[in-house]
């Protein structure tokens, strides 16, 4: 919940200049709801994608305050973040809700960025893989195999979100390898090998290189560091 519409527009106009000529990676910007349409207009023909930070698990109707997948597509969204750790911890989103929202995103033609990850207590008690497996199986249990090609999964250990603490490249790599193996068991090796896996959790210019060197990490879901366009630009162009 950062940046007014004018601040978001200033950000993307400056970012476009910083990443000009960078063609070997895909950048997606996720501003708050009020800024989606104007930011999408600026991003048009830039090669960058536009993501919403959330969506409703319902198609339409009497759900005051909710935003539907159809509305997001109409605003220009190509992607949507689903099940972010803050949505889970602060707003009580369950795996079942994540499942419904992911399905809505896929039906609308958007690519859902489905977030999963364990708390510090769960990691310290050796439950990391159990939590990840449950979140994937319950959060994607209505998703058909042919939709996996549109899916993106972001591993964001809750204990590393906004804390300044980053999972070591080895910890992140181990979790990503587990996710890919689990997806291979559920949907086949081919789809799993092509599945983009992102790491989120205090990503910054100083650690992006080592994180991206891990074989199963394909990108980053950048949080606080994305609020400063110069810092975010360094992450994109590392």
List active site positions: 84, 156
- Strand intervals (E) in the chain: 28-29, 49-52, 79-82, 111-116, 152-155, 197-199, 219-220
Asked if residue 85 lies in contact with residue 53, where contact means CB atoms within 8 angstroms, the answer is no
How open is the CA angle 82-28-30, to the nearest 5 degrees? 55
- Run of H or E including 224: none
């Amino acid at each position: 919940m950062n940046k007014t519409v004018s601040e978001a527009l200033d950000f993307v106009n400056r970012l476009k200049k910083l990443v000009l000529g960078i063609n070997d990676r895909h950048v997606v910007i996720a501003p708050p709801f009020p800024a989606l349409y104007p930011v999408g207009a600026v991003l048009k023909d830039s090669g960058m994608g536009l993501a919403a930070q959330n969506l409703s698990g319902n198609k339409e109707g009497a759900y005051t305050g909710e935003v539907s997948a159809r509305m997001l597509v109409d605003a220009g969204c190509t992607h949507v973040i689903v099940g972010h750790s803050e949505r889970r911890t602060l707003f009580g989103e369950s795996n079942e809700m994540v499942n419904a929202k992911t399905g809505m995103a896929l039906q609308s033609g958007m690519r859902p960025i489905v977030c999963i990850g364990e708390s510090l207590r769960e990691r310290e008690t050796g439950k990391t893989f159990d939590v990840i497996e449950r979140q994937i199986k319950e959060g994607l249990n209505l998703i058909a195999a042919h939709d996996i090609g549109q899916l993106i999964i972001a591993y964001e250990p809750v204990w590393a979100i906004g804390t300044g603490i980053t999972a070591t490249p080895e910890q992140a790599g181990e979790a990503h390898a587990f996710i890919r193996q689990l997806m291979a068991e559920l949907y086949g090796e081919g789809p799993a090998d092509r599945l983009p896996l992102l790491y989120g959790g205090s990503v910054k210019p100083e650690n992006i290189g080592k994180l991206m060197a891990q074989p199963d990490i394909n990108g980053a879901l950048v949080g606080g560091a994305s609020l400063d366009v110069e810092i975010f630009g360094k992450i994109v162009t590392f």
